[in-house]
Amino acid sequence: MQQGDGTEAQVTWEDQQNINRFGRLNNRLHELDDEIKLAKETNENLDDAGNELILSDEDVVRFQIGEVFAHMPRDDVETRLEQMKEDAAKKLERLEEEKKSIVSQMAELKKILYGKFKDAINLEED
């Protein structure tokens, strides 16, 4: 590899492992962004369903389970909906924590790799 000052920088096995690790973390970061987007949409949909349930005055409501609708008592649906909201919120929180950890690991790897290779390596998104 050529550095900006014209000297050769030897790529060691450890350097290659760090570069590969950075690439895997970057891929996971993109996957997490998609998963977080879906989790946020799920949370919004569950909130909307809860609001619709509040507006409903029926004692028995249709509740979707998989691809079918079942008629269920309103109280059961409220209970299930609250549980689903809690689960979705926990999942979103877990995904956000994982993203935070990955961003931190990537920053550390950038520091190491840019420290050795300077401008001979590009780790930034286009």
Q: Three-state DSSP class for 68?
A: strand
Please report how many Cα atoms fall inside a 13 Å half-sphere around the Cα of residue 112, on the Cβ side.
16
Name the CATH code of domain 13-117 (choices 3.40.50.720, 3.20.19.10, 3.40.50.300, 1.10.287.370).
1.10.287.370
pLDDT in tens, 23-54: 999 999 999 999 999 999 999 999 999 999 98
- Please check whether residue 18 is in contact with residue 112, taking contact to mean a CB–CB distance below 8 angstroms: yes
Question: What are the extents of the domains in the chain?
Answer: 13-117
Cα-Cα-Cα-Cα dihedral sign, residues 19, 20, 25, 28: positive
- Please check whether residue 22 is in contact with residue 109, taking contact to mean a CB–CB distance below 8 angstroms: yes
pLDDT in tens, 47-93: 999 999 989 888 999 988 889 999 999 999 999 999 999 999 999 99
Predicted TM-score of the model (pTM): 0.82
**Nearest C-alpha neighbor of 4 from the set 121, 103, 119:** 119
Number of H helices, E strands in the chain: 2, 2
Contacts 24+ apart (CB under 8 A), 43-49: 43/85, 43/88, 43/89, 43/92, 46/81, 46/84, 46/85, 46/88, 47/85, 49/81
